[in-house]
Amino acid sequence: MSETNNLPTRKPAFQEKPETPSRKFWRVVWGSMLGFLFASIITSLLYTIMFFGMIGMVAAGAKSGSGTEVVKENSVLKLDLSQSIQERAISTPFAKFNNYSDNLGLDDILASIKNAASDSKIKGIYLCSSSAAASPASLKEIHDALMAFRKSGKFIYAYSDSYAQNGYYIASTADKILLNPTGSLDFRGYAFQIMFYKNLIDKLDVDVQVIRHGKFKSAIEPYIMDKMSEANREQMDLLANTLWKCVTKDISASRHISVDTLNYIADNLIAYDAQNALASKMVDKLCYVADAEKMIKSKLNLGEDDDINFVSLGKYRKSFDPSTKSKQKIAVVYAVGEIHDGKGSEMKGIYSESFIKEFRKAYKDDDVKAIVLRINSPGGSAIASENIWQEIEKAKDAGKKVVTSMGDYAASGGYYIACNSDYIIAQPNTLTGSIGVFGMIPSFQNFLKNKVGITIDKVATNPHADFGNGYRPLDEAEIAMFQNSVEQIYALFTQRVASGRKMSVAAVDSIGQGRVWAGQDAIGIGLVDKIGSIDDAVKKAAELAKVSDYAIVYYPKQSDWFSMLFRDDDDMDAAIRAKLGKFYFMFDGVDQILSQEGIQARMPMNIVIQ
């Protein structure tokens, strides 16, 4: 036996055990899961990058005036104004796809009509909506812009299967008004309707205590009465007639029909029948949409089989940039919606702290030579209005000229912030004035007890510790305190107006008392300086600042669609408005009972114009 055979046998350092079926199964399962998880993370990351890249590109293309759209030669601007028209609207990137359409901003509509007049590619405008979803002053701005467009020598044709009153008012600017032979034309005058909630409040056993100054301050009437007071009826009658006179005057001028004849047609509902509308010269021809397009083709020298290059408002607005380059600037600051205290989104109203921050940016800019304050507000918080008034005073102290341009409303708190301007321009059918204040305190004690079965007891360290909590009516001392606050704020309000408008306090009080005035009537009593548009206000601001070459900048900077995706704004009100439609104002009236806090400088009614 050899020596090597006597060496001891070494065992391996590691001897792998055979893999059991169970272990092999779990190894495959866990490996697959980890691989799938890793692949999912990588894929999700790639898709996220691609998604935000695509959204960013689309959103960038959705910005107004970005020059991303190309308009063909021999085009016609197609205006459908049936959607709700806001002061400013955010364009969505999906407007070009089916079932989506652009939100309409008054600023975009006016800019597009103005640009189209000098755009060689645009040969005319085609109005193709039966209605126009806007308030009277906004409609007036669009009407006047279209009448200015006609001076360019280009055509405007209007066609509809039927015309609502607002739609016909806009269509009256056209060279030719065309109507479907089986259609109708709704022309019957204005009716202002106010909904009263007193009987509902009584049935619910809710007590509403109101404190006001001003015999016309009828904001509280719907909650304590079941019909208009005589003072309210007086102002509403004047408002309705002033606004209707504006409409009939404009239609008379463009259609060459006397105002008396127009009122006769409205009184007897003559135009509702298409044949009568033609006979009374309210329309020029009865035809179908194909016939209307054939007439447009003839104006464009197109053949019968050629297509018309229609360009929508949303697409056209993206084809041009109206801004100009200049070191000197005129700032347009928008104040739209009800006035609130504190901070909030401009999409929801005028929040004093947020608004002041934006307004301050404008007057702190050395390149800004003047400011146009564009107001479309029925008012709101009296304290917030006073704080904004003070900021306008600071702008004037800084050497800035301030011109107010009034939209549909500049009433109560809206007028409070307007009165400190160097110059005020309004439309003839702007609702303004309403110089008055009020407070409204509901008590739900009887409602809770009699309707719900809830009673409330209390302990308190002081007699008025539970003041204003809504669970009991105010006592005499609390009412006296509240009335004193109302009187103090009304005195300050009238003093502010007197100072801004160079009037005596007594003169302001005589036209105040909460009374609402149309812009046309407001000139004669000194509340407004001139009738005109926002363009007129910009020109006046430049004149007062003594500048001729200037660029226009806008505040607040308008949010784009992409950034709106990440806002935490509450969209509940918008959803309710969309759901209730024309009945929204019923909900809004009840909601005001529950939500109003403090003393209000607010327009004295929610008006529904029929």
- Annotated catalytic residues are 217, 412
Give the whole-angstrom CA distance, residue 206 versus residue 199. Answer: 10
Give the whole-angstrom CA distance, residue 45 versus residue 395. Answer: 49
Pairing of strands 309-312, 75-79: parallel
List Cβ neighbours of 303 (8 Å cut-off, separation of 6 or more). 297
Q: Where do the H-state alpha helices sit in 186-327?
A: 198-203, 221-224, 230-255, 259-267, 274-279, 289-299, 313-317
Written as six digits, the tokens of 583 are: 């009945």
Evaluate whether 154 touches 68 at the Cβ level (below 8 Å): no
Q: State which H helix or E strand residue 500 sits in.
A: helix 476-501
Give the whole-angstrom CA distance, residue 564 versus residue 572. Answer: 15
The residue with tokens 């990351």 is 45
Give the whole-angstrom CA distance, residue 414 versus residue 381. Answer: 10
Give the whole-angstrom CA distance, residue 363 versus residue 394. Answer: 9
The residue with tokens 């407001």 is 522
Evaluate whether 207 touches 184 at the Cβ level (below 8 Å): no
List Cβ neighbours of 317 (8 Å cut-off, separation of 6 or more). 64, 65, 91, 102, 108, 111, 112
Evaluate whether 159 touches 289 at the Cβ level (below 8 Å): yes
Cis omega (within 30 of 0) for bond into 556 = yes
CA distance to 13, 21, 122, 132, 165, per residue, from 82 (Å): 87, 72, 22, 5, 12
List Cβ neighbours of 604 (8 Å cut-off, separation of 6 or more). 216, 217, 218, 219, 221, 232, 412, 434, 436, 514, 516
